[in-house]
């Protein structure tokens, strides 16, 4: 068994299994740390006026994207919201292409034309971040339908916030996904607030995963503090989609440390609340487990340095990259 919540414990297995779990957790930890450092650098550049438009940070929620995407194969599709940096980096998109996109540069993953909310890489089946709350859930159902229709084995993962589950599109998509047995995993990342509005002011039930019952869909609900636990839950849902062509509604209980976007000072919650949530921080937790499993402090520091170097390189690349040409802007402008 992989460690569950509570005190980290080393798996009671042979040396080979411990070695494999340690290697996996090292990889997942590095990706979570990369997302965090990438976004800290993005926040700094935004405050300096180097990045424009909107910027919604994922800091605090990293275990959700990283655990989830570690359960996927290259044949699977991902669709997300405007809070999409974590998904992109967890899917293996380069920090350079992502940072350049934030800077609006031609070398960005959407050629500088999408910005923070529209990270996209068709080669990795990262089918984009979307700004319309809930509007992307039917698109994800369509992708799952396409995989099934073409008799491909791909599964679609669709990420949204708990603020989207009262939107009609969410229910229409779930209804069809259940009716047509689509290989879709709908992932509600419940970070407790939709902008500044807490869940209890917009939803009549606190357990968001219960919404699946109306459609006869499988459901699951769990906390995203431990990335390996997140991965296990996703593996079950992805397997159900891939092998039985059945959808699942997952509620991932998480928390964002920063404001909704860079312009949000977060006055609707107390500093004590945020500090309390940080005590379950997913990156720190992974570090504790790794140390428990024999990874040294020096090794973790080396990971930190390599991540910082990768992010610094991405910032340099973005700053030195060219702006999109007038021809490109004209070609991609719909008028
Ligand atoms: C249809 C629509 N209504 C309103 C908005 C404005 N808006 C942007 S984000 C947001 C809150 C969404 O919260 P949630 O779904 O919980 O996701 P989170 O931002 O917490 O990740 C709102 C109301 C929008 N983008 N689209």
Domain carrying residue 148: 15-260+273-321
Residue 335 pLDDT class (50, 70, 90 cuts) = confident
Q: Is the CB of 191 under 6 A from ligand 1?
A: yes
Look at residue 335 and tell me if it is in a domain. Answer: no
Q: What is the mean pLDDT of the chain?
A: 95
Ligand 1 centroid, distance to 131 Cα (angstroms)? 8
Look at residue 333 and tell me if it is in a domain. Answer: no
Q: Is the CB of 161 under 6 A from ligand 1?
A: yes
112: left (phi over 0), alpha (psi -120 to 50) or beta: left
Mean pLDDT of 161-185: 98
Dist CA 198 CA 204 (whole Å): 12
Residue 13 pLDDT class (50, 70, 90 cuts) = low
Nearest CA to 203 out of 188, 217, 225, 215 is that of 188
Contact 95, 312 (CB under 8 A): no
**pLDDT of 293 higher than 60:** yes
HSE, side-chain direction, 13 A CA sphere, residue 196: 9
Kindly report the number of other CB atoms within 10 A of residue 221's CB atom. 17
Look at residue 150 and tell me if it is in a domain. Answer: yes
pLDDT tens-place string over residues 93-123: 999 999 999 999 999 999 999 999 999 999 9
11 vs 69, higher pLDDT = 69
Q: What is the CATH number of the domain that holds 236?
A: 3.40.50.970
Domain count for the chain: 1
pLDDT tens-place string over residues 27-53: 999 999 999 999 999 999 999 999 999
Dist CA 309 CA 315 (whole Å): 10
DSSP 8-state symbol, 67: H
Q: In the structure encoding, which two tokens stand for residue 294, read together?
A: 């024999």
Residue 179 pLDDT class (50, 70, 90 cuts) = very high
**pLDDT of 4 higher than 80:** no
Dist CA 130 CA 136 (whole Å): 6
**pLDDT of 168 higher than 60:** yes
Look at residue 58 and tell me if it is in a domain. Answer: yes
Query: To the nearest whole percent, how much of the chain has pLDDT over 70?
Result: 96
* Alpha carbon nearest to ligand 1 atom 17, residue: 161
Mean pLDDT of 252-274: 96
DSSP 8-state symbol, 51: S
Contact 54, 328 (CB under 8 A): no
Ligand 1 centroid, distance to 141 Cα (angstroms)? 20
Q: Please report where in the chains the tokens 């997302």 appear, as a residue.
A: 35
Ligand 1 centroid, distance to 133 Cα (angstroms)? 5
Residue 19 pLDDT: 81
**pLDDT of 67 higher than 60:** yes
**pLDDT of 244 higher than 80:** yes
* Alpha carbon nearest to ligand 1 atom 3, residue: 133
Contact 94, 35 (CB under 8 A): no
**pLDDT of 6 higher than 50:** no
Residue 5 pLDDT: 44
- Give the DSSP per-residue string, 293-325: TT--HHHHHHHHHHHHHHHHHHHHHHHHSPPPP
Look at residue 240 and tell me if it is in a domain. Answer: yes
Q: Is the CB of 202 under 6 A from ligand 1?
A: no
Residue 7 pLDDT: 42
Give the chain's count of helices (H) and strands (E).
11, 8
Look at residue 151 and tell me if it is in a domain. Answer: yes
162 three-class SS: helix
Look at residue 40 and tell me if it is in a domain. Answer: yes
Q: Is the CB of 131 under 6 A from ligand 1?
A: yes
**pLDDT of 2 higher than 50:** no
**pLDDT of 138 higher than 90:** yes
């Amino acid at each position: 068994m992989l460690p569950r919540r509570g005190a980290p414990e080393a798996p009671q297995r042979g040396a080979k299994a411990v070695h494999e779990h340690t290697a996996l957790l090292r990889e997942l930890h590095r990706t979570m740390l990369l997302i965090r450092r990438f976004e800290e650098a993005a926040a700094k550049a935004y405050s300096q006026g180097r990045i424009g438009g909107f910027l919604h940070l994922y800091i605090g929620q990293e275990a959700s994207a990283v655990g989830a995407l570690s359960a996927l194969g290259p044949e699977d599709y991902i669709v997300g919201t405007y809070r999409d940096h974590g998904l992109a980096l967890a899917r293996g998109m380069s920090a350079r292409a992502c940072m350049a996109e934030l800077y609006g540069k031609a070398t960005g993953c959407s050629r500088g034309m999408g910005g923070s909310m529209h990270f996209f890489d068709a080669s990795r089946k990262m089918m984009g971040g979307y700004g319309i709350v809930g509007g992307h859930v039917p698109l994800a159902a369509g992708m799952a339908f396409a995989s099934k229709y073409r008799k491909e084995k791909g599964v679609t993962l669709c990420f949204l916030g708990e603020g989207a589950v009262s939107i009609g599109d969410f229910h229409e998509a779930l209804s069809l996904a259940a009716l047509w047995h689509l290989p879709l995993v709908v992932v509600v990342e419940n970070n407790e607030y939709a902008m500044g509005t807490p869940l209890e002011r917009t939803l009549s039930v606190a357990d968001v995963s219960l919404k699946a019952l109306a459609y006869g869909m499988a459901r699951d609900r769990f906390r995203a503090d431990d990335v390996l636990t997140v991965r296990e839950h996703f593996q079950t849902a992805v397997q159900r989609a891939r092998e039985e062509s059945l959808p699942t509604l997952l509620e991932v209980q998480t928390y964002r440390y920063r404001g909704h976007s860079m312009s949000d000072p977060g006055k609707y919650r107390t500093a004590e609340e945020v500090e309390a949530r940080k005590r379950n921080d997913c990156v720190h937790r992974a570090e504790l487990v790794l140390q428990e499993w024999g990874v040294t402090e020096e090794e973790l520091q080396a990971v930190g340095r390599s991540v910082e170097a990768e992010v610094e390189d991405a910032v340099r690349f973005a700053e030195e990259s060219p702006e999109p040409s007038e021809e490109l802007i004209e070609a991609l402008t719909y008028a």
